[in-house]
Amino acid sequence: MARITFQPDGKEIEAKDGESILSAAVRAGIPHEQSCGGYGRCSTCRVMVREGLEHCSEPTADERRIGVLLQFAPEIRLACQTSVMGPVSVRRLVLDQEDREITSLLRKDTVVGAAGLQRELAILFSDIRGFTAFSEALSPYDLIHVLNRYFYQVGPVVERHGGSINNFMGDGFMALFGLKDPKDAPLRAVRAGQEILEVAGRYNPYVRNLYNRVFRIGVGIHVGTAVVGAIGSQTNMRVTAIGDAVNFASRVEAENKPAGTEFLISQPCFERVKDHVTLGKTVQVHVRGKTGVHPLYEIKGVVKA
C-alpha cells in the first residue's frame, strides 16, 4: 500500500494496490470532485502532485487527451486515472461548485486551452502613435472603421508567422508567439513586427487621403516566461498570458515614443535574433518596477525567411 497526503485537507490515507487517487479519496471520505463519475472525461478531479510524481502511474490515453486539450503541466494529474506506487502528496484543485463549473469539460462553453502553466513566449505589443489626437479628429464611425480596417490587415500577418492576437486594447493589441510551437518564436515575432510596420506604411496614404491624418504605429517585443491560462467570466473566457514578461513587453513598445523609433526589442529577444536582423540605434532605458538600465534595440530590417 502507498500513502497519499491530501491538501488542503491535511489528511493522510493508505491507497490499495492499483487503486486510483480518486477512489482512495472517496473511500476515505475526502470530498473529491468528479463530474463525470471518474471516467476521465471532465477534468474536475485534477490534482497537483506536490511530492512523489515519480511514484505515479503513467498517464492513460484519456488523461493524455485531456492533458493536451488543457495543456497540463506534468505535475497536474487526473485523480481518476492515476494510481500510486509510493508516498505521494497532492493538492486538490477543484474544491467547490464554482471550481467545478470553471473546470469541467462537460460544459459546452468550456474554454479549451492552458489550465495554468509557465511558458517562454515572444510577446509583441503594438499601438497607434498619437492616438488621442487621432481619435478626436474623427467621427465615431470613421474611428472604428480605421481601426477595423487596420486590424483586418494585421491579423493575418500575425497568424502567418505562427502567432495569435491575444488581446485588443483600443488602438493596439498584444500578440503571442510560442503558445503552440516554441520553435523560432522570437524570430517569427520579429518578422511579424516588421511586416506589421510595412502594412501600416501602405495604410498611411489611405488614412491621409480620407482624413488628412498620419497613421503611424510602434512595435515592441520581449522574450520571457509568462503564466498562460484560460481567464475570464462565465461567458467570456480566453487563453491569455500574464506576468512580469508581459508588463515588460508593453514597456518596450512604449519606449518607441521617447526614443523616436518604430520598432524596439529587448535584450533577451535580441540575443535570439541577432544573426537575422539589422539594427538602428540602441536605447538605454530605466523601466518602472525594475532595477538597473535595460538596453533596447531598434530593428531596421529582418532577413527574409
Main-chain dihedrals φ then ψ at residue 165, nearest 5 degrees: -75, 115
User: Among 118, 124, 155, which residue's Cα sits nearest to residue 242?
Assistant: 118
Q: Evaluate if residue 109 carries a pLDDT over 60.
A: no
Q: How many angstroms separate the CA atoms of 31 and 288, rounded?
A: 45
User: Sorting pLDDT into bands at 50, 70 and 90, what band is 118?
Assistant: confident
User: Sorting pLDDT into bands at 50, 70 and 90, what band is 233?
Assistant: low
Which top CATH class is 2-103?
alpha beta
Domain residues of the chain, as ranges?
2-103, 117-302
Q: How many angstroms separate the CA atoms of 110 and 7, rounded?
A: 26
CATH number of the 117-302 domain: 3.30.70.1230
pTM of model > 0.85 = no
pLDDT digits over 47-88, tens only?
999 999 999 999 999 999 988 888 888 999 999 999 999 999
Neighbours of 200 (CB within 10 A): 22
Q: What is the mean pLDDT of residues 102-115?
A: 62
Q: In b/e form, how buried is each residue of 59-88, taking b as 16+ CB within 10 angstroms?
A: beeebeebbeebbbbeebbbbbbbbbeeeb
In which element (H, E) is residue 295 found?
strand 293-302
* Predicted local distance difference test score (pLDDT) of residue 253: 95
C-beta of residue 38 within 8 angstroms of C-beta of residue 80: yes
User: Among 92, 98, 97, 95, which residue's Cα sits nearest to residue 77?
Assistant: 92
